[in-house]
Amino acid sequence: MPKTVALILVTAVAMLTACGTPGARPEAPQAVSTVTETSASVQRPPETSGPASSAVRLIVVPDVSGMNHQEAQDAMQAAGLYNLREVDGTGKGRVLALDRNWVQTGQDPAPGTKVAADAVITLTAVKIGEK
């Protein structure tokens, strides 16, 4: 389709859309868009002849004991672990809202354990100064 015809078609559709339906409430003005013709080439990856690899990359859980809770989260995320669960180590069920005011007292799985990237990592902490 020639560029001129395509531009006329796009302009006509935009004008009809702007007119709306009779009796309908007016909408906010819409931004004007520009149409540019482009072409792209897509290359598919080569077919593999063997079964798909089921190897999962394992991550070593870092040791975050004694760190403030924010530093512990940062260390886990730097290692590639993002599925973090927080637990109040006193058993009171408090939310660890200000991460830097809490110190790590435990973690599960233990440091050095190799886990998949989507494994749940439980970080147990108490407020600084608590036991």
Phi-psi bin for 83: left (phi > 0), alpha (psi -120 to 50), beta? beta
Radius of gyration, CA atoms only, the chain: 28
- Residue 72: closest CA among 47, 42, 103: 103
Domains of the chain (ranges, CATH numbers): 58-127 (3.30.10.20)
Contact 38, 92 (CB under 8 A): no
- The pLDDT tens digits of the residues spanning 9-37 come to 555 555 555 555 455 455 555 555 444 44
Q: Which two tokens stand for residue 96?
A: 């660890």
Number of residues that this document lists for the chain: 131
* 97 or 81, higher pLDDT: 81
Contact 87, 68 (CB under 8 A): no
- Look at residue 41 and tell me whether its pLDDT is greater than 60: no
